[in-house]
A = this chain, B = another copy of it.
């Protein structure tokens, strides 16, 4: 297996999906060992930092990449398997930022209130216990929460020459902010442009569903992923698979539209896998669907539809590539 290591220099950070020159060209099946900066671009390092004065809106959510995958053409499927996610710092940070987040007025849900207080929380990692430490700003409440690393942002370049901020979740993936994007998951994206132009970033040491305040436990991350290519079969919206579940991520507004997207796409997927007529698949999904919300804070809201493989006969999606990637991943660990 080809293995490529890449630690971007600060001036190599990329802040968009689309519009960026490739960091490197790789062959399908390559393992990437990538370092990514945190979503704050390392501007938040202490609980005394004031987010609005530290954060530069032009330089948020830096991505590592993009990678040009040889042979990837529009309509193909890019498979990205997450082998390993390791915090690259001993602490993570979260913050409330004026007019950003799910429980504040924003530039869209535009109201007449003053901004909520801005503040920073620092989470120290306890490597032995595999926890991150929450500490209140007022009072002395402390809590050790399980370290559960995930990637907030994974995606490919969009179609139609569009270029989106890396803060956006869309059909091309991007800033979906779902805790399902963790070790053991294979993500499938439709290829929109030659080379696919894959990138990742926005490491989270842990995140609740919805990402209410807008920021998870953000941290620099060392990620090992295998990137492979399937000719054709590109899914309309991102699909995820791990050993136990099939998933779709829909991203739009209002949130019911995100849900509708993920449900309709899952109905199509079940129809393919089990040769079901659409209304039968609709009925079946109604009784077995799990729906963990991903984010209600980004430029689109993301909702996951999730189905347990245990409830269903065994099937292989995308030619069984997930099982194969799991196998190949072992050699990297």
**A279 and B137 within 8 A (CB):** yes
Decide if A232 is an interface residue (CB 8 Å cutoff). Answer: no
**B102 and A259 within 8 A (CB):** yes
Decide if A296 is an interface residue (CB 8 Å cutoff). Answer: yes
Please, how many angstroms separate the alpha-carbon atoms of A108 and B254 in the complex? 9
- Which chain A residues (1-32) contact chain B, with CB distance < 8 Å? 15-16, 18-19
**B94 and A283 within 8 A (CB):** yes
- In the assembled complex, 28 residue pairs joining A and B whose CB atoms fall closer than 8 Å, in A order, are A103-B263, A104-B111, A105-B111, A108-B261, A111-B111, A111-B260, A112-B116, A112-B267, A117-B279, A136-B284, A137-B280, A138-B280, A139-B277, A162-B163, A162-B164, A208-B287, A210-B259, A210-B263, A210-B291, A212-B282, A213-B283, A253-B253, A254-B254, A254-B255, A255-B256, A255-B259, A292-B292, A293-B303
Pick the contact of A254: B114, B256, B292 (CB < 8 A). B256
Contact bitstring A260-283, B, C-beta under 8 A = 1, else 0: 110111010000001111111011
**B112 and A103 within 8 A (CB):** yes
Decide if A312 is an interface residue (CB 8 Å cutoff). Answer: yes
* Contacts A286-B208, A287-B94 given; does A163 touch B275 at CB 8 Å: no
Decide if A317 is an interface residue (CB 8 Å cutoff). Answer: no
Instruction: Show the binding face of A for B, using Cβ within 8 Å.
Output: 15-16, 18-19, 57-58, 94, 96, 102-105, 107-114, 116-117, 119, 121, 134, 136-139, 141, 143, 145-146, 160-165, 206-217, 236, 250, 252-257, 259-261, 263-265, 267, 274-280, 282-293, 296, 301, 303, 305, 311-313
**A280 and B208 within 8 A (CB):** no
Residue of B nearest to A92 (CB): B287
Residues of B within 8 A of A136 (CB): 276-277, 280, 284
Please, how many angstroms separate the alpha-carbon atoms of A72 and B234 in the complex? 42
Pick the contact of A57: B146, B160, B293 (CB < 8 A). B160
Residues of B within 8 A of A277 (CB): 136-139
**A110 and B163 within 8 A (CB):** no
- What 16 additional pairs, Cβ within 8 angstroms, besides A19-B19, A141-B280? A103-B112, A110-B257, A110-B264, A112-B116, A136-B284, A138-B276, A138-B280, A145-B288, A162-B164, A206-B287, A208-B290, A212-B282, A217-B287, A254-B254, A292-B292, A293-B303
CB distance from A221 to the nearest CB of B (A): 16
**A212 and B301 within 8 A (CB):** no
Please state the number of chain copies in the assembly. 4
Please, how many angstroms separate the alpha-carbon atoms of A209 and B266 in the complex? 13
**B286 and A94 within 8 A (CB):** yes
**B113 and A116 within 8 A (CB):** yes
Pick the contact of A208: B138, B161, B162, B285 (CB < 8 A). B285
Residues of B within 8 A of A256 (CB): 102, 253-255, 296, 301
**B137 and A257 within 8 A (CB):** no
Residues of B within 8 A of A121 (CB): 283
CB distance from A29 to the nearest CB of B (A): 31
Please, how many angstroms separate the alpha-carbon atoms of A212 and B307 in the complex? 13
Please, how many angstroms separate the alpha-carbon atoms of A91 and B206 in the complex? 43
Residue of B nearest to A138 (CB): B277
Pick the contact of A111: B94, B163, B264, B283 (CB < 8 A). B264
